[in-house]
Amino acid sequence: MTPISEAEPALREADLQPTVRLAAEFGGLDAGGRLRLAAERFRGELLATTSFGAQSAVLLHLLATHAPDIPVVCVDTGYFFPETYQYADQLQRELGIKVAFYTSPVTPARMENTEGRLWERGTEGIERYGFLRKVEPLNRALREHGARAWISGLRRSQSSDRGKRSFAERQKATTKLYPILDWSDAMVEDYFERHELPRHPLVDRGFASIGDWHSSRPVEKGASVESTRNNGLRRECGLHLESSDADFQI
């Protein structure tokens, strides 16, 4: 996120105060209360995202239970594991939800033929890949839904960078909300068991973080979960970092 001292006029300290206050309010509520507050505060102007990853069922179940009117979108890179698409269908069916899928206008075949296999080209390639396949589709989803706020299932325990985040943040013109930010892995596991939520099929094969097939791998003994994404070069895919496009709201 942009530091206040370096922010553009629209994001100076006075404008960030509502976000700071909202973060404080979130801190005094449980996850369900945070979602209900978000739905009330940003009535009709927010959406939630899901990746249908290893722990996505938790936020989706919370949304279905406490804020079923908040629209949910999934940014489909075109490179999901087959099991992820199957899991997406299963969760939508069992939770009674409907998720809108957004994809890049640049097809995987076109990208690979014009720019190559970007995920194999170091951090610059990963950044370009994230912009094309993730950032642009999400920015379009936010605009089409008229959303000025975005709910994400980030948790502090997922990575060192995420450990520094607040319950509510500003990313350019968008307020980002993290209703399960303070949940531990044990809390997530307990929620799965109490509500008998289905697991992503790849969890049984050792995957703890599940993204695209070319950039995710099982956790090896002694390795961190962070190291299983993008060959350990980068945990964040670009969605949770400010984009370089001045016209984008994230």
| CA distance to 13, 93, 137, 164, 188, per residue, from 3 (Å) | 9, 42, 26, 13, 31
Structural domains of the chain, count: 1
Q: What was the pLDDT predicted at 234?
A: 55
Residues classed as catalytic:
237
Within-domain flag for 119 = yes
Within-domain flag for 108 = yes
Closest CA to 145 of 63, 37, 48, 66: 48
Within-domain flag for 249 = no
Residue 101 has φ and ψ, to the nearest 5°, of -100, 130
pLDDT in tens, the chain (250 residues): 544 334 444 455 556 689 999 999 999 999 999 999 999 999 999 999 999 999 999 999 999 999 999 999 999 999 999 999 999 999 999 999 999 999 999 999 999 999 999 999 999 999 999 999 999 999 999 999 999 999 999 999 887 677 778 999 999 999 999 999 999 999 999 999 999 999 999 999 999 889 999 999 898 766 556 655 556 555 556 687 776 777 788 8
Within-domain flag for 245 = no
- What's the CATH number where 14 sits? 3.40.50.620
Within-domain flag for 242 = no
Within-domain flag for 2 = no
The model's pLDDT over 168-213, given as tens digits with 9 standing for 90+, comes to 999 999 999 999 999 999 999 999 999 999 999 999 999 988 999 9
User: Which segments within 40-143 are labelled E, that is strand?
Assistant: 46-49, 72-75, 99-102
Find the helix or strand (DSSP H, E) in which 18 lies. helix 13-27
Closest CA to 33 of 82, 69, 61, 66: 66
Expressed as residue numbers, the domain containing 106 is 8-232
Within-domain flag for 51 = yes
Within-domain flag for 31 = yes
* Cβ-based neighbour number of residue 48 at 10 Å: 24
Closest CA to 85 of 61, 64, 101, 62: 101
